[in-house]
């Protein structure tokens, strides 16, 4: 087990080193693809706090991403922060994160009255509700036409790339910190048996709400970076089905409940996604592709890549 962890650390260090060099030596297309892959992995890591550690599959991670993207862009376009100079972008992003965390805090009560498939459906309904409000407030949000970012606030691809990489590393650290903390023990107890967890004195709702808010913050930061780099956002870009399904698929592919799982799964799934869309030029809708990937995972590798690898390693060690 120790050698396996050592290999993972070396592989992780090499991956970070390569990632740091990509904007310096790679093409713009490669940098763009890697940037978006990093954002999806951030969402997958945040999803896994709920779906993997707590055992509550959510289809609403993209809601935090989308809300923060809109709040950031709308604040900057309103010119209310112009007096802050170049600090206005940072302040807008922080306000967006605070608003998103407050939204997660507020949604926690109705969401955690449910569990299982009902919880997953309710989180997806949250995404649809937010989309509905955005589309029906055109004077504020641009409605179906979307909204452009003021050119003065546009983030260059290189700056956005390194911010995204920093968010990915921070999200991985957050998952690792939770897994080894008292909160992680409480979350694991709830996942195994909510009845048993409540009998030992855990405040189930408080733990769940805290986990939901923690999972929302990095996703919100990712949304803010995305909005400022894209230069234009609408409901499909900020709250599209890819922001809902891809994080789930990535975590399941890599091995839900493991810190490295969403990272490995993210690289695999994003590689498949980019290949099918950009190189094979398939005319199949994205939703069908995501569904096919999810079905394949469920049939061939329900435990995820890392969990299968660990299980096979243990079996091999016992047979020696």
Domain membership of residue 180 (yes or no) is yes
Q: Tell whether 252 is covered by a domain.
A: no
Residue 196 included in any domain: yes
pLDDT in tens, 240-278: 988 988 899 999 888 888 888 899 989 988 888 777 777
Cα–Cα–Cα angle for 47, 43, 116, nearest 5°?
20
Would you say residue 253 lies in a domain? Answer: no
Domain that holds residue 27: 22-240
45 falls within a domain = yes
Q: Is residue 119 part of a domain?
A: yes
First to last CA, the chain: 15
Alpha carbons 99 and 119: distance in angstroms, whole number: 22
Residue 60's SS3 state is coil
How far is residue 71's CA from residue 63's CA, in Å, rounded to a whole number? 12
Per-residue confidence (pLDDT) for residue 219, from 0 to 100: 97
pTM over 0.85: yes
For residue range 159-215, what is the model confidence (pLDDT) as tens digits?
A: 999 999 999 999 999 999 999 999 999 999 999 999 999 999 999 999 999 999 999
Does 186 reside within a domain? yes
Q: Decide if 43 is inside a domain.
A: yes
Domain count, the chain: 1
């Amino acid at each position: 087990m120790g050698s396996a962890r050592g290999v993972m650390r070396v592989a992780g260090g090499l991956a970070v080193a390569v990632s740091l060099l990509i904007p310096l030596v790679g093409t713009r297309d490669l940098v763009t693809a890697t940037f978006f892959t990093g954002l999806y992995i951030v969402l997958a890591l945040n999803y896994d706090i709920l779906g993997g550690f707590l055992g509550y599959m959510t289809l609403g991670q993209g809601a935090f991403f989308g809300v923060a993207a809109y709040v950031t862009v709308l604040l900057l376009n309103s010119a209310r922060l112009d007096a802050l100079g170049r600090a206005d972008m940072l302040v807008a992003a922080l306000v967006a994160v605070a608003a998103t965390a407050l939204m997660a805090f507020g949604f926690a009560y109705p969401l955690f009255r449910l569990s299982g498939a009902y919880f997953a459906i309710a989180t997806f309904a949250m995404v649809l509700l937010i989309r509905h409000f955005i589309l029906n407030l055109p004077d504020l949000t641009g409605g179906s036409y979307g909204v452009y970012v003021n050119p003065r606030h546009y983030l260059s691809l290189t700056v956005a790339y390194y911010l995204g990489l920093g968010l990915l590393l921070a999200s991985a650290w957050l998952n690792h910190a939770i897994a080894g903390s008292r909160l992680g023990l409480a979350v694991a107890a709830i996942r195994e048996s909510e009845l048993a967890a409540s009998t030992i004195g855990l405040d189930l709702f408080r733990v769940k709400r805290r986990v939901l808010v923690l999972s929302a913050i990095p996703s919100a930061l990712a949304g803010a970076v995305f909005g400022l780099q894209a230069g234009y956002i609408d409901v499909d870009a900020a709250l599209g089905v890819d922001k809902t399904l891809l994080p789930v698929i990535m975590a399941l592919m890599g091995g839900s409940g493991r810190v490295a799982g969403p990272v490995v799964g993210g690289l695999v799934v994003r590689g498949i996604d980019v290949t099918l869309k950009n190189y094979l030029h398939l005319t199949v809708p994205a939703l069908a592709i995501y569904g096919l990937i999810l079905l394949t995972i469920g049939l061939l590798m329900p435990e995820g890549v890392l969990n299968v690898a660990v299980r096979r390693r243990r079996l091999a060690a016992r047979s020696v």
